[in-house]
């Protein structure tokens, strides 16, 4: 690993993070066959909090200092809503289809940055946004027999995740990334702990290790993601996030006997293609601005 360039190391770590996130999603879907989605969300955050507390224990005091408490709350709330939306979605629909629709978040982020940060929004970016949303509609197919209101949950999750990424841009200007990571874990754990009380079901002994694995996998994936972004520029590793669609498809086939139909594959390709196109345009625009 040390022989690789920082960018190559970042790409490898990004792929590792995406694989772990997909494994976490598959584990969550398995648990939600027996437990409420909110309890599974709690396990995801509680495990994350445990790992964060162990890793950052010597630095907890300094990292807890923030000048943007309100923005930290808002950012963490967006991620919590995205997690709950997505976990609820995969409890009732194929994991590959839900993951594909969730991947609209990069182009929604582009739209949000244009509206809130006044970043330029030309016809090519508008085309990318329209194409991604069209791909999402192909997957969920409103008006068809497979469409239910729950099919909109991964799209809603994508909107929440884009909002989370947008607020992260604001915080990244004057807050350490580990401070934001710590607040995400704390706020998510507290919120999930309160909301899971009405639906709490004591885990069966055989499921306890699965709950622990869910939290640990999510936390390790988050750690690899942060490490990836510290080694390489975000623009260099971002396209590899779409590997999640491939990983989710494999998990669906292996663990749940879910075979994506032709329209789901077409919609996924449109979404990924639109995302890569927008990323390409963003990269060229930044390069031009720097020149």
Question: pTM to 2 decimals?
Answer: 0.86
Compute, in degrees rounded to 10, the torsion defined by CA atoms 126, 148, 142, 261.
Answer: 90
pLDDT at 40: 96
Give the model confidence (pLDDT) of 146-182 as tens digits. 567 777 899 999 999 889 888 877 776 677 878 888 8
Q: Categorize the per-residue pLDDT at 2 as very low, low, confident or very high, splitting at 50, 70 and 90.
A: low
pLDDT score of 238 more than 90: no
Higher pLDDT, 265 or 105: 265
pLDDT at 288: 66
Which of 8-22, 82-96, 111-125, 266-280 is least confident?
111-125
Token digits for 146?
């497979």
Q: Categorize the per-residue pLDDT at 41 as very low, low, confident or very high, splitting at 50, 70 and 90.
A: very high
CB atoms within 10 A of CB 65: 9
Q: Categorize the per-residue pLDDT at 287 as very low, low, confident or very high, splitting at 50, 70 and 90.
A: low
């Amino acid at each position: 690993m040390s022989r690789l360039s920082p960018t190559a190391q970042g790409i490898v770590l990004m792929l590792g993070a995406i694989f772990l996130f997909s494994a976490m999603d598959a584990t969550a879907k398995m648990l939600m066959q027996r437990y409420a989605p909110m309890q599974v969300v709690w396990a995801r955050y509680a495990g994350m909090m445990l790992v964060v507390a162990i890793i950052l224990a010597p630095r907890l005091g300094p990292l807890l200092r923030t000048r943007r408490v309100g923005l930290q709350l808002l950012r963490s709330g967006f991620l919590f809503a995205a997690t709950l939306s997505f976990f609820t979605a995969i409890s009732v629909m194929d994991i590959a289809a839900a993951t594909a629709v969730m991947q609209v978040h990069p182009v929604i982020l582009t739209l949000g940055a244009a509206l809130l940060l006044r970043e330029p929004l030309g016809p090519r970016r508008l085309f990318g946004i329209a194409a991604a949303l069209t791909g999402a509609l192909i997957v969920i197919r409103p008006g068809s027999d497979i469409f239910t209101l729950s099919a909109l949950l991964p799209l809603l999750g994508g909107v929440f995740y884009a909002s989370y990424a947008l607020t992260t841009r604001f915080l990244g200007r004057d807050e350490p990334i580990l401070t934001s990571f710590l607040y995400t874990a704390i706020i998510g754990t507290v919120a999930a702990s309160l909301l899971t009380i009405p639906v709490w079901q004591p885990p069966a002994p055989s499921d306890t290790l699965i709950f622990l694995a869910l939290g640990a996998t999510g936390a390790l994936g988050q750690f690899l993601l942060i490490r990836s972004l510290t080694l390489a520029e975000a623009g260099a590793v971002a396209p590899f996030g779409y590997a999640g669609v491939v990983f989710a498809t494999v998990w669906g086939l292996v663990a749940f006997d879910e075979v994506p139909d032709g329209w789901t594959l077409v919609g996924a390709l449109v979404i990924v293609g639109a995302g890569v196109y927008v990323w390409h345009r963003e990269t060229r625009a930044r390069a031009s601005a720097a020149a």
